Structure 1
Amino acid sequence: MVNDSVLLPLPIDVVKPDVVLPHAPVAAGGTVSALPYEPVDLLGVSYEWAGRTKTVGDFLNETATDVIEFAHNGRLVAQYFANGWSADVAHQAWSTTKSFVSTLVGIALDQGLISSVEDPIERYIPELAETAWQGVTLRNLLEMRSGVHWDEHTSELSQNTQVLQWVDLALDYFTDGSAGQTRNEFLRSLPRAEPQGVRFNYNSANTQVLAWLVESVYGQPFNQVLSEQLWQPAGMEAGADIMTDRTGAAIASEALFAVPRDFVRFGEFMRTGGSTPDGRRIVSARWVAAATTDMKPAHDAGDHAEGGYGFQWWNGATPDGFQANGFQGQYITVAPSECLTGVRLAHTLQVTTDLDFAGQGKEEWHALYRAVMDRLGGCE
Structure 2
Amino acid sequence: MKKVAFLAGGTAVLGLVVFAAWFFRPWAEYSPFNIIWNRETGDRVELYRRMDELFPHRIVEGEEKAEPLPRSIKAIDESYDWQGERKTIDEYAAESDTTALMVVKDGRVVFERYYQGEDAESRHTSWSVAKSYVATLIGMALMDGTISSLDDPVSKYVPDFEGTDYGSTSLRHLLMMSSGIDFIEDYESRGSDMRKLFFDVFIMNVDVDEFVKPYRRNRPAGTDLDYLSPNSHVLSMVLRKAYDKPLAEIASEKIFKPLGMADGTWLIDRNAPDGKEIGYCCLQTRAEDYARFGQLYLQDGMWQGQRLLPVGWTDLVSVPPTEVHEAGSTQYGERGYGLHFWVPEDPAGEYFANGYNGQSVFIDPANNVVVVKTGADIDQIPRRSETTAVLRALARAVK
Q: Which residue of 1 aligns with 2:384?
A: 362
Q: Which runs of 5+ in 2 are unaligned?
A: 1-40
The share of aligned pairs that are identical, in percent, is 27
CA-based RMSD: 2.2
- What amino acid is aligned across from residue 361 of structure 1 in structure 2? R
Match of 2:372 among 331, 343, 366: 343
Contact 1:69 1:344 in 2 (8 A): yes
Q: Which amino acid aligns with 1:163?
A: R
Aligned to 2:342: 314
The 5 Å alignment of 1:208-219 reads 208-219=233-244
Q: Which residue in 1 is equivalent to 2:207?
A: 182
Question: 2:277 aligned with 1:250, yes or no?
Answer: yes
Cα distance in 2 for partners of 1:331, 1:170 equals 24
Q: Does residue 143 of structure 1 match 2:143?
A: no
Mark the structure with the bigger radius of gyration: 2
Aligned position for 2:48: 13
Change (3 A) 1:137 1:127: same
Q: Structure 1-normalised TM-score?
A: 0.86
Q: Distance in 2 between the 1:36 and 1:169 partners? A: 40
Once the two structures are TM-superposed, the CA of residue 51 in structure 1 deviates from its matched residue by 3.0
Distance in 2 between residues matched to 1:10 and 1:290, nearest whole Å: 34
The Cα shift of 1:18 comes to 6.5
- 1:38 and 2:77 aligned: no
Asked if structure 2 preserves the Cα contact closer than 8 Å seen for 1:20 and 1:170, the reply is no
CA shift, 1:362, in A, is 2.8
Aligned partners of 1:233 and 1:280 also within 8 Å = no
Give the distance between the partners of 1:210 and 1:186, measured in 2 at CA. 14
Listed one character per residue, the Cα deviations across residues 318-346 of structure 1 (whole Å, up to 9, x for unaligned) are: 41111001111111001111101001111
Distance in 1 (CA, whole Å) between partners of 2:143 and 2:68 is: 25
CA–CA distance in 1 between the matches of 2:264 and 2:300? 23
Given residue 134 of structure 1, which amino acid in structure 2 is its aligned partner? Answer: G
Q: Distance in 2 between matches of 1:344 and 1:20?
A: 23
In structure 1, distance between residues paired with 2:285 and 2:49: 15
Q: Counterpart in 2 of 1:373? A: 395
Q: How many angstroms does 1:190 deviate by?
A: 1.3
Q: Corresponding residue for 1:196?
A: 221
Out of 357, 370, 393, the residue aligned to residue 328 of structure 1 is 357
| Distance change in 2, residues 1:169/1:374 (3 Å) | closer
Residues 71-115 of structure 1 deviation map (CA, whole Å, 9 limit, x = unaligned): 011110111111111110100111011000000000000001111
| AA in 2 matched with 1:49 | W
SS at match of 1:13: helix
Question: How far off is 1:373 after superposition?
Answer: 3.4
> Which gives a bigger RCO, structure 1 or 2 (Cα 8 Å, sep 6+)?
1
Matched, 1:59 2:92: yes
User: Letter of the aligned partner of 1:25 in structure 2?
Assistant: I
Q: TM-score, normalised by structure 2?
A: 0.82
1-side partners of 2:354 and 2:45: how far apart?
23
Q: Which moved more, 1:131-140 or 1:218-227?
A: 131-140
The answer to whether the Cα contact below 8 Å between 2:371 and 2:395 also exists between their aligned partners in 1 is no
